[in-house]
Structure 1
Amino acid sequence: MSLQQITPKQRGYLIANSHPDGCAEVVKRTWESIPPRTPEGRTPVVLLLGSSAGYGMSILLAGLRRHSIRGVGVAFEGAPSERRTGTAGWYRTAATAELAAGTDTDFVFVNADAFSSNAKEQALDLIAERFGPVDHLIYSLAAPRRTDPVTGEVHHSVIKPIGEPYEAASLVFPDGVATVGTVQLTPANEAEQRATMQVMGGADWQLWVEALAARGLLGDGFTTVALSYVGSDITAPVYRQGTIGAAKEHLEATARTLADGVLADGAGRAFTVVAGAAVTQASTAIPSIALYTSLLHNVLGGEGWHTTADQAIDLWSQLAGEKPLVLDRQGRIRLDGWELDEKVQEKVRKLWADPTAALADEPAGAEWFYNQFRALYGWDVPGVDYGADVETAVAWPDFE
């Protein structure tokens, strides 16, 4: 037992510890926001990479709740110790496993670096022994670095513009109060661009698909998707036109490479999925995204906002064939129409022209963003007693 009272250790957009009960409550609330249904016919086998956070976790919860998916989730999380709590994803995975155990499905979790060859072997051995061929491979990884499994070279991603310096408004929270600041970034050099592509592009996604094919684990009608983002022209200089955007273009090109290569001749389908805006641990690291997201939420309000769970439900409906794929001219599945609606974007642009005045007139969006950010680590979640001692030594889900 490791009962203790804990308080958040926060610095900017990073919180060094997480609250187990808060993380579990976030998972429970997401689960309850997804309308359940009883699927007909065979339940699909899913390999989900990046199952402990953001879009990946919501896709997992929606898949369990509405499609009774079976399979394996892979995430790389830190265990609790005597000196520190586990990572938020550790506690979210434990809570997700409890919910999954209450269903008629069979879903298990592997804690490993998905970029490594060992993780691929471990996950695929488990799939072969326990589940059989995979119907869906969901790739939802976001990481700051990747070690090439062949060369051993460590690549570090950077968030920088390409070509020109970037200067724009940003949202900061000194003492928890929303303030508009300024961010300035120098352009990435070629080495930084290549490294970011190696981390956030499609190289690892391709390795996973090829590994499944080599093991004879591609199911009939196999489909794989990788999560991507386009976003607004407001954030394009630092995102879509920057190093991360270039990596996402590589990810999208990889979908075509897979379709023309290992998945050719009816072996399967590969798509990138352009999701809408969200508050995730990955998105909070991108300059100006917090301010843009806050203003977007002011425009849309709670009823117009599409949560990651809402988007996950939409994605599964398309993957399951319940409704047609919503594809753009590049063949990408689109979930972001609600965000990029021109009337919505026009309103956001007007607010962006003077964000200080916009937040003074309507601070709700920034307050909402801050609460959402803190909840990523299990803090400020309604209904959780933060004054009580909490068990931090939560075990990773075991399976027989």
Structure 2
Amino acid sequence: MSLREIKPGNRGYLYVNSHPAGCEAVVDRMWQRAADPVGDRPGPVALVIGSSAGYGLAATLVGLRTHRMRGLGIAFEAPATERRTAGAGWYRTARTAELAAGAGADFTFLNGDAFSDAVKEEAADRLAGRFGAIDLLIYSVAAPRRTDPLTGGVHHSVIKPLGTDYRAKTLVFEDGAPRIGELHLPAADEAERDATVRVMGGADWQLWIDLLQSRGLLADGFRTVALSYVGSDITAPVYRAGTIGAAKQHLEDTARAIDTRLGGTGRAHTVVAGAAVTQASTAIPSIALYTSILHRVTGDGWQGTVEQAAALWNQLAGAAGLELDDQDRIRLDGWELDPRVQAAVRAAWDRAATDTIATTADTAWFREQVGRLYGWDVPGVDYGAAAQTAVPWPGSPA
């Protein structure tokens, strides 16, 4: 047992520690926002890759509570040590498992590198032994590096523009006060672009499908989706037209290849989600300012990860028709890319300056949301009390 008082340790948007009780409270809030169960029959057997954070976590919680999902979630999280807390996703997974058990869900979690052959084989063994063929695979992985299982080479992703350098406004917090700074990113070279595609493109998703198909673990009518993003013209130079955009394009090309390979036995799509404050998105330059402005513009029209995950599940479960674009992608971002919303965001972006930031962007909201990713700034949590940091992974001995 390891009880101790924890104080937040962060530099900008990066926190080096997390709070167990805060992470638990965040999951509880997400669970409460998910709808009550639909019917009383067991839900689909699903594999969620990237179940501890962002859209993967939201899809897991909605799937468990609303759709009685069964199956396996995979995450790669660091445990607590004598000097450090566990990763926020570790604590979120532990609480998710408790809520799933309380709801009677037959769902387990595996901690490991989803890029590795060993984790793929262990996941396939668990699914085969407990459930048999799966109905759904949700792929929601964002990672800074990937070891290629075929070559052993380690590839590192970068967030850079392609073709020309990127200069733009950025949101900076100095001593707790927001200001507008200037950002300059040099253009990526071909090697950096290719490495980012190898990490964040569709290669690993394809390997998962190949393995599960070879093991006979894809049910008739199987569906698989991978999370993607398009975003605004404002962020396009560093996102959709940059190295990450090249990776997302590869992911979308992979969806079409998987869909063709499945033939009439299943379907594969990418899912274009709307903006969100996640551990992955906070690493993208200028996204903080853009998202802060977008939230001020949309107000009650803002859709968080839970609301978007619910819309996705409704489409996958047949409660609503698939909202596909001309590239066969499922779209969840209509609320963000509404022309009136984007016009208002552009106007606010153009006038955003340090002396106008209080009226153009929800900077306090954004900073609070970032803290909550790590279990900080959550109302109702006693941060002065000692917290249990050594929380066991679900299914492991206490």
Using structure 2 for the length normalisation, give the TM-score. Answer: 0.98
SS of the residue corresponding to residue 138 of structure 2 reads strand
1:234 corresponding residue in structure 2? 234
Contact 2:42–2:69 (Cα < 8 Å) also in 1: no
Give the partner amino acid of 1:48: V
Give the partner amino acid of 2:329: R
TM-fit CA distance, 1:360: 3.0
**Superposed, which structure 2 residues align to 1:186-197 within 5 Å?**
186-197=186-197
SS of the residue corresponding to residue 72 of structure 2 reads strand
**Superposed, which structure 2 residues align to 1:11-22 within 5 Å?**
11-22=11-22
TM-fit CA distance, 1:83: 1.0
1:201 corresponding residue in structure 2? 201
Which of residues 303, 306, 310 is equivalent to 1:306? 303
Contact 2:42–2:70 (Cα < 8 Å) also in 1: no
1:271 corresponding residue in structure 2? 269
2:369 corresponding residue in structure 1? 372
1:297 corresponding residue in structure 2? 295
- Deviation string for 1:328-383 (max 9, x for gaps)? 000000000000000000000000102115413255x1110000000000001000
5+ long unaligned stretches in structure 1: none
2:283 corresponding residue in structure 1? 285
CA distance in 2, matches of 1:18, 1:312: 24
CA distance in 1, matches of 2:141, 2:110: 14
- Deviation string for 1:133-161 (max 9, x for gaps)? 11000000000000000100000000000
Give the partner amino acid of 1:294: S
Which of residues 327, 330, 336 is equivalent to 2:327? 330
5+ long unaligned stretches in structure 2: none
Question: Is the deviation greater in 382-391 or in 39-48?
Answer: 39-48
SS of the residue corresponding to residue 8 of structure 1 reads coil
TM-fit CA distance, 1:170: 0.5
SS of the residue corresponding to residue 246 of structure 2 reads helix
- Deviation string for 1:161-181 (max 9, x for gaps)? 000000000011122221111
Give the partner amino acid of 1:342: P
1:76 aligns with 2:91: no
1:355 corresponding residue in structure 2? 352
Give the partner amino acid of 1:391: Q
CA distance in 2, matches of 1:240, 1:234: 10
CA distance in 1, matches of 2:289, 2:236: 14
1:389 aligns with 2:386: yes
Contact 2:42–2:68 (Cα < 8 Å) also in 1: no
1:251 corresponding residue in structure 2? 251
Give runs of ≥4 in structure 1 deviating > 4 Å: none
CA distance in 1, matches of 2:22, 2:176: 19
SS of the residue corresponding to residue 173 of structure 1 reads strand
1:315 corresponding residue in structure 2? 312
CA distance in 1, matches of 2:127, 2:176: 45
1:176 corresponding residue in structure 2? 176
- Deviation string for 1:289-315 (max 9, x for gaps)? 0000000001011x1100100000000
CA distance in 2, matches of 1:11, 1:270: 39
How many pairs are equivalent? 396
Give the partner amino acid of 1:370: R
1:344 aligns with 2:352: no
Using structure 1 for the length normalisation, give the TM-score. Answer: 0.97
TM-fit CA distance, 1:35: 1.7
TM-fit CA distance, 1:399: 6.7
Task: Tell me how large the CA RMSD over aligned residues is.
Answer: 1.1
- Deviation string for 1:273-297 (max 9, x for gaps)? 0000000000000000000000000
2:95 corresponding residue in structure 1? 95
1:35 aligns with 2:35: yes
Contact 1:351–1:358 (Cα < 8 Å) also in 2: no
Contact 1:169–1:183 (Cα < 8 Å) also in 2: yes
TM-fit CA distance, 1:41: 4.2
CA change 1:399–1:319 in 2 (3 A) is farther
1:140 corresponding residue in structure 2? 140
CA distance in 2, matches of 1:201, 1:268: 21
Contact 1:108–1:399 (Cα < 8 Å) also in 2: no
SS of the residue corresponding to residue 57 of structure 1 reads helix
